[in-house]
Amino acid sequence: MKKAKKQEVKAIEPVQVPNKFVRNKRKTILLNTMENEALDAYFKKYKVQNKSRFMRETLMRVILNRFANDYPTLWDQPGVPAHLRPF
């Protein structure tokens, strides 16, 4: 009976992350009982495994959407006559 040859395992090089992307700033929030239960129910129902990632992405999505919606446009600037505005 022949012995199976061992496959060579290549070492995986660690990924170098630029310092500006390293998360080293901590923020803490407090929830009341109902908010905590609702959040736990959501995690369980939708099988959220990485709760920290979920909270961070959800928070940043809301913030970036608000920034995008509040961004001034040409039509919001003072001095643009009303008859030249598209709406």
Residue 55 falls inside a structural domain:
yes
What pTM value is reported for the model?
Answer: 0.60
- The range of the structural domain enclosing residue 49 comes to 32-70
Q: CB neighbours of 5 closer than 8 A, spacing ≥ 6?
A: none
Residue 10 falls inside a structural domain:
no
Residue 36 falls inside a structural domain:
yes
Residue 15 falls inside a structural domain:
no
Residue 28: band (very low, low, confident or very high) from pLDDT cuts 50, 70, 90: very high
Residue 65 falls inside a structural domain:
yes
Residue 49 falls inside a structural domain:
yes
Please, what is the average pLDDT of the chain?
Answer: 84
Contact 31, 39 (CB under 8 A): yes
Q: CB neighbours of 86 closer than 8 A, spacing ≥ 6?
A: 75
Residue 6 falls inside a structural domain:
no
Q: Kindly tell me if the per-residue pLDDT of 60 is higher than 70.
A: yes
Residue 57 falls inside a structural domain:
yes
Based on the structure, what is the number of domains in the chain?
1
Region of poorest pLDDT, from 11-15, 21-25, 37-41: 11-15
